[in-house]
Amino acid sequence: MSEVETVGPARREGRGRDAGGKARRERRSSGGGIHQLPFKTLRNPFKPVEILSADQIEAIHEASLDLLETVGLEVLHGETLDIFERAGAKVDRSTLRIRPDRGLILEAVAKAPAEFSLRARNPERDLVIGGDHLVFDATGGPAFVSDLDRGRRAGNEADMKDYIRLVHMLNVLHQEGGTGVEPTDLPAETRHLDVYESILTLTDKSWHCWGIGAFRVRDAIEMACIAYPTTREELMERPAVITIINSNSPMKFDGPMGEGLCELARNGQATVVTPFTLCGAMSPVTLAGALAQQNAEALFMAALTQLVRPGAPVVYGGFTSNVDMRSGAPAFGTPEYTRAAFASGQLARRCKLPYRSSNVNASNTVDVQAAYESSMSLWGTILGGVNLLAHAAGWLEGGLTASYEKLILDCEMLQLMRETLMPIPTDKASLGLDAIAEVGPGGHFFGVGHTLERFETAFYRPMLSDWRNFETWTDAGAVDGTRRANAIWKELLRQYQEPAMDPAIREELAAYVARRKKEIESGKY
């Protein structure tokens, strides 16, 4: 038993002082006091966890190439069939099956850049994907949205916009994730235009477009050219458009995704090629089998980008998790997910590709499960050497729902991870032996110069955590973390200011959207 640890002098001193609590209450009540870290691009100093030996990496890698040569992919996209046929792959037109040999795949993949830059509308928010760079990308895709006040509801335009505003406000997020809330109240064929217009006007961060169908990619490219502003030629040199391209696991690649991939690659824009390999459902029940299949599908898509345009930026996506074998429901943030995240990083680096993974969980509400499953995901991916962390904030319920409170919770966890990557300086002043001598045995460090010179910035200051003592916290209403998150996103929305944009550009964007809506409504995609 450790009595000193729990009732020692620091605890007495610490718990007895509540000047900070008072200051924090004042800061909160003043309305402007959400404390965040500033926007900053990140590099990961840690050597990735190696769960696979070198031999095991090779075994999975070679198995994936065997899979491509023997099973191959069924491809429902004519252009992809043509491209692989021209490259010399075995293509069976009657079964739509492409069985590329390993030489073709590896030669193509070798042309992809190990890292690349991605422009944002605000040049200060340009990103690098690959190497030891680490990018936090907000959630993309959920059909539902939820918060404590209004509950769970279908995605809609108003929430889609508020969500983008929050992604803009949350400094730890580097990138909008491709529609945190799907606006299901807008027409399906043209809603991507409304989303792009919202993204490009409500935030100046990097963003994800939609990858389903060539026309949605073309619209993204056109609107990026208007908004940044830039030309298509410049965009080709310095990409700004990115999205996730999924295979239809197992071993299938569909038409709309094929169109999206080819259109992006042709224009020198970035694809994040991601199989969706849930062990026991769309992939073998074994992690090694799912990883082999993931690697096969990812390398197939990565090779395709390079056959379309050598040097086109492409990111290796890992999304291997498992299902609950008693219900068939997807499970996320499991030990299987974490181990697959470590292994996927090793496989991506084996092929010198940037690595994408995700912050996932399967909880139905913003509770302890949501937090610990997300933590499992964050540590698995970040210690696994992820470069692009998709769905990094806001994902709930296996990705069906974008949650406002989860967005805040995740950003707190991302801030914690970000600060964990910071080095420990060990210069003479940091070692502080003089301060220890000055304080002497049994003293305390609150008042010494060494502390006073540094205390304002010495430690991470949280956005969501409440460190007041139990009595003060209870007197203030015993508000738990999820309810505090609720107050924080509302305050951030109150503080939100739209980033400046030239009115002429704003008009041009609106005109583009209006014109394209008419065209699409008349069948011109």
Q: Quote the least distance from Cβ 430 to a copy of itself, whole Å.
A: 4
Examine residue 458 and tell whether it contacts a copy of itself (CB under 8 A).
yes
Q: Quote the least distance from Cβ 31 to a copy of itself, whole Å.
A: 19
Examine residue 56 and tell whether it contacts a copy of itself (CB under 8 A).
yes
Among 158, 229, 460, 494, binds a copy of itself (CB under 8 A): 460
Scored b (16 or more CB within 10 A) or e, 485-519 reads bbbbbebbeeeeeeeeeeeebeebbeebbeebbee
Among 78, 88, 311, 443, binds a copy of itself (CB under 8 A): 443
Among 148, 212, 487, 501, binds a copy of itself (CB under 8 A): 212
Report the residue number, 162 or 373, with the smaller CB distance to a copy of itself.
373
Among 34, 42, 44, 73, binds a copy of itself (CB under 8 A): 73
Examine residue 436 and tell whether it contacts a copy of itself (CB under 8 A).
yes
Among 19, 123, 124, 149, binds a copy of itself (CB under 8 A): 19
Instruction: Enumerate residues 155-194 that contact a copy of itself by CB under 8 A.
Output: 177-179
Report the residue number, 111 or 432, with the smaller CB distance to a copy of itself.
432
Tokens encoding 442:
């049994």
CA distances from 344 to 132, 292, 387, 438, 441 (A): 15, 10, 12, 51, 50
Among 431, 493, 504, 514, binds a copy of itself (CB under 8 A): 431
Examine residue 37 and tell whether it contacts a copy of itself (CB under 8 A).
no
Burial of 365 (C-beta count, 10 Å sphere; 0-12/13-18/19+): middle
Report the residue number, 185 or 324, with the smaller CB distance to a copy of itself.
324
The DSSP output letter for 95 is: T
- Which of 41, 35, 22, 34 lies closest to 456 in space, CA to CA? 35
Compute the distance between CA of residue 374 and CA of residue 384 in angstroms, rounded to an integer.
15
CA distances from 439 to 9, 174, 449 (A): 15, 42, 10
User: In sequence order, what DSSP letters do the residues of 320-359 get, joined into one string?
Assistant: -EEE-TTT--EE-SSHHHHHHHHHHHHHHHHTT--EEEE-
Question: For the chain, first and last CA: distance in Å?
Answer: 71
Among 329, 493, 511, 514, binds a copy of itself (CB under 8 A): 329
Instruction: Enumerate residues 366-425 that contact a copy of itself by CB under 8 A.
Output: 366-376, 379-380, 383, 390, 397-401, 409, 412-413, 416-420, 422-425
Whether 489 and 34 have beta carbons less than 8 Å apart is answered as no
Among 442, 477, 503, 523, binds a copy of itself (CB under 8 A): 442
Examine residue 39 and tell whether it contacts a copy of itself (CB under 8 A).
no
Compute the distance between CA of residue 458 and CA of residue 472 in angstroms, rounded to an integer.
25
Compute the distance between CA of residue 351 and CA of residue 362 in angstroms, rounded to an integer.
31
Report the residue number, 368 or 511, with the smaller CB distance to a copy of itself.
368
Q: 3-state class of 118 per DSSP?
A: strand
Instruction: Enumerate residues 349-368 that contact a copy of itself by CB under 8 A.
Output: 362-368
Examine residue 266 and tell whether it contacts a copy of itself (CB under 8 A).
no
Among 31, 41, 46, 232, binds a copy of itself (CB under 8 A): 46
